[in-house]
């Protein structure tokens, strides 16, 4: 099957500045792909080049196997974009905005689809409100509804949860999972690494227009993730059992151990502590964090 999106050697030049410096990637049907990177890395530019809001300098972009240099219109009917910036006409109502959007994508008015999205995004009560009267969070919900109204097979979400409240973030995460379950491919950019960790099947890290890493999330977490084990003892422990690597605190009542690829496992450490009869009182485990991995990738400490 053709990849949903294929980008080869993509370059975008703004005057002397290269916003994209030879990016290549493939997005497969049905996956959730998180594109991560600091501000100014080139995420929005990459999405814009795929969606037609940014004109590429060179390189190749295909959507659903169709090269955009040959046909830039047809494949884009199957794409939805939730832009980073709010961009709708303030004088239409919520429902009108969605109807206009359906027409824009060459579809017949489909009130049932609009009602379904209004309900899914908790906008039903605001259907007849003018969009300028909406709160920031409601505007963001409408942006998402607009991007989905024509049932796209590929959806780009560009920082969809920037500045939104926890409740909307949760709703949105659930909605993204639902889209995936329906077979929609989702490309997400986000500042919240927790969000990518929660949702993504694969992650890409981009910095200064270059893709530094692209990997399946679980494999990445396995390969580069650091888990932290902290064991509290009921009384002082004079020495660790042989073979246990970890740091004993100054008060000799706490062990800290960092589990990473190639080290012994936390389970092995705990087993050894119990086998030695040490007075284990409390155990805490911190899972690996995508955020730590990304910071190390950006610093150049780890790579593909």
Stretch that binds Mg ion, among 14-22, 80-88, 180-188, 206-214 (CB under 5 A): 80-88
- Pick out residues in 186-245 that bind Mg ion (CB under 5 A): none
Beta carbon nearer to Mg ion, 44 or 161? 44
Of 217, 218, 291, 225, residue with least CA distance to 260: 225
Beta carbon nearer to Mg ion, 44 or 190? 44
In contact, 252 and 223? CB cutoff 8 Å: no
What SS3 class is residue 250? coil
Of 214, 205, 225, 223, residue with least CA distance to 299: 205
What ranges make up the beta strands (E) of the chain?
A: 5-14, 17-27, 32-36, 58-63, 66-67, 79-82, 154-158, 185-189, 202-207, 210-216, 227-233, 247-248, 254-259, 280-286
Is 14 an interacting residue with respect to ligand ADP (CB under 6 A)? yes
What residues does 259 pair with on adjacent strands? 227
Binding track over 185-224 against ligand ADP, x by CB under 6 A: ----------------------------------------
Least separation in angstroms between residue 67's CB and ligand ADP is 22
Q: Identify the residue among 44, 62, 185, 190 touching Mg ion (CB under 5 A).
A: 44
Is 16 an interacting residue with respect to ligand ADP (CB under 6 A)? no
What SS3 class is residue 253? coil
Beta carbon nearer to ligand ADP, 55 or 70? 55
How distant, in Å, are the alpha carbons of 122, 224, 228, 257, 260 from that of 265? 45, 14, 11, 9, 8
The rounded Cα 16 to chain-centroid distance in angstroms is: 30
Residue 42 interaction partner, one of ligand ADP, Mg ion, none, beta carbon < 5-8 Å per kind: ligand ADP
- Pick out residues in 24-63 that bind ligand ADP (CB under 6 A): 37, 39-45
Stretch that binds Mg ion, among 68-76, 79-87, 207-215, 255-263 (CB under 5 A): 79-87
Which residue of this chain has its Cβ atom nearest to Mg ion in the complex? Answer: 44
Backbone phi, psi, residue 196, to 5°: -65, -40
Chain positions contacting ligand ADP, by CB under 6 A: 14, 19, 37, 39-45
Chain positions contacting Mg ion, by CB under 5 A: 43-44, 84
């Amino acid at each position: 099957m053709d990849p949903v999106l294929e980008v080869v050697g993509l370059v975008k030049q703004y005057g002397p500045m290269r916003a994209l410096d030879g990016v290549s990637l493939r997005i497969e049907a049905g996956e959730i792909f998180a594109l991560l990177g600091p501000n100014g890395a080139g995420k929005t530019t990459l999405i814009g080049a795929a969606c037609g809001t940014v004109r590429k300098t060179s390189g190749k972009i295909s959507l659903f196997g169709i090269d955009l240099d040959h046909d830039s219109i047809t494949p884009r009917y199957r794409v939805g974009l939730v832009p980073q910036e709010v961009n709708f006409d303030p004088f239409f109502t919520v429902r009108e905005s969605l109807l206009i959007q359906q027409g824009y994508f060459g579809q017949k008015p489909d009130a049932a689809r609009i009602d379904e999205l209004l309900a899914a995004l908790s906008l039903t009560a605001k259907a007849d409100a003018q969009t300028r009267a909406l709160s920031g969070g409601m505007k963001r919900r409408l942006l998402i509804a607009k991007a989905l109204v024509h049932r796209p097979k590929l959806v780009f979400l560009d920082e969809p949860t920037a500045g939104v409240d926890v409740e909307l973030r949760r709703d949105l995460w659930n909605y993204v999972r639902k889209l995936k379950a329906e077979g929609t491919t989702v490309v997400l950019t986000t500042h919240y690494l927790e969000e990518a960790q929660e949702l993504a099947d694969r992650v890409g890290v981009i910095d200064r227009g270059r893709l530094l890493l692209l990997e399946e999330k679980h494999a990445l977490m396995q390969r580069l993730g650091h888990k932290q084990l902290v064991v509290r003892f009921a009384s002082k422990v004079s020495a660790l059992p042989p073979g246990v690597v970890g740091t004993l605190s100054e008060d000799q009542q706490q062990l800290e151990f960092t589990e990473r690829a190639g080290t012994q496992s936390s389970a092995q450490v705990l087993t050894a502590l119990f086998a030695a009869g040490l007075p284990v009182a409390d155990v805490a485990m911190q899972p690996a964090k995508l955020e730590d991995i990304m910071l190390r990738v950006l610093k150049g400490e780890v790579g593909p």
